[in-house]
Amino acid sequence: MLPVLPRVALVFTGGTVAMRHDAAAGGAVPALSGDDLVRRIPALAQLATLVPVEFDRLPGPHMTPGRVLELARVLQPLLDDPEITGIVVTHGTDTLEETAYLLDRLLAPTKPVILTGAMRPSSDPAWDGAANLTDSVRVAASPAAAGAGVLVVFHGDILLGREATKRHTDHPATFAPRDGDALGSVREGHVRLSTPVRSAPPLAPLLAEGVELLTLPMGSDGRMVDLAVSGGATGLVLQGLGCGNVPLTAVPAVERALAQGIPVMICTRCWQGETRDTYAYRGAGRTLVAAGAVLAGRLPAHKARLELMLRLGNAAGLAGLEG
């Protein structure tokens, strides 16, 4: 008697994994459907009974927060289906980490939701899509991943969705945690996975519009802060220096925004580490917090923007922010 395979939903949103080179366009463009991908990787059907779902064929930069909300609404019935063991979502790598973060904040899955993709189009001899999809289905079907929540599986690594960060423009091993080690791995067909810790409680799918992300490098005079506020910004995420400091020349504009009641979240441009109120000089983290700003902890700026959009949309406030 043949063993009963776990049922894994494959939700196709597009990305490089579904692209191929187009001579007329001069580069890779969306081309393959979900069914096309499944046919190209026959090993998938040996690992699970596949439930394909066509969501879209979007390049990563075409994804928006609103479309992620739509994706979450597609995923929820699959999560509620007791016959589904896990879900794999194909996605463009340029915005995969933002979608993974938002899904982690919107869903409370009792089964794995795995995002994956490729750094090489399907027409490339070094196409990495087959391996990534195969690894992802293995993880989705594995008892070890039950209750793991939102994950990113890429180049044999298993990462928490909220922590995965794209660190290289075109290297196949581009995704890594911002700090620390991967949650697990897929090696020679074996899934090894540590027990993840749940992040903050999920929020309702309500996103505030008008949250702007600005970078404040050395000597920035803050004019972009003033411009954003005058243009109707509902919140500001500022990518500052060190552990959460901004240039002295930008401080007056930041203070003006705070005085007008604009929520301001301060991040660091550093690759690792977190924001802290260590320093107390003008423009440092402690003085910014005293003026009403919030430090973003370990959240990089692009994820902090999504968090602020969610918090403002849910009227949840910024107390207890966890980076």
Torsion angle of the four alpha carbons 238, 242, 244, 249, in this order, in degrees rounded to the nearest 10: -60
> What single string gives the DSSP state of each residue in 79-102?
HH-TTEEEEEEE--HHHHHHHHHH
Residues found in the chain: 323
The C-alpha angle with vertex 256 and arms to 251 and 261, in degrees rounded to 5, equals 125
Q: Which of 13, 16, 95, 287 is catalytic?
A: 16
CA dist 12 → 15, 92, 124, 260 (Å): 9, 10, 20, 43
DSSP annotation of 40: H
Look up 16 and say whether it is catalytic: yes
Q: Is 154 left (phi over 0), alpha (psi -120 to 50) or beta?
A: beta
Closest Cα to residue 300, out of 237, 249, 258? Answer: 237
**CB within 8 Å of 196: residues ≥ 6 apart:** 148, 149, 160, 183
Report the amino acid identity of residue 280: A
Which residue pairs, CB below 8 angstroms and at least 24 apart, start in 173-179? 174/93, 174/119, 175/93, 175/96, 175/97, 178/271, 178/272, 178/298, 178/300, 179/272, 179/273, 179/298
Catalytic residues, which ones?
A: 16
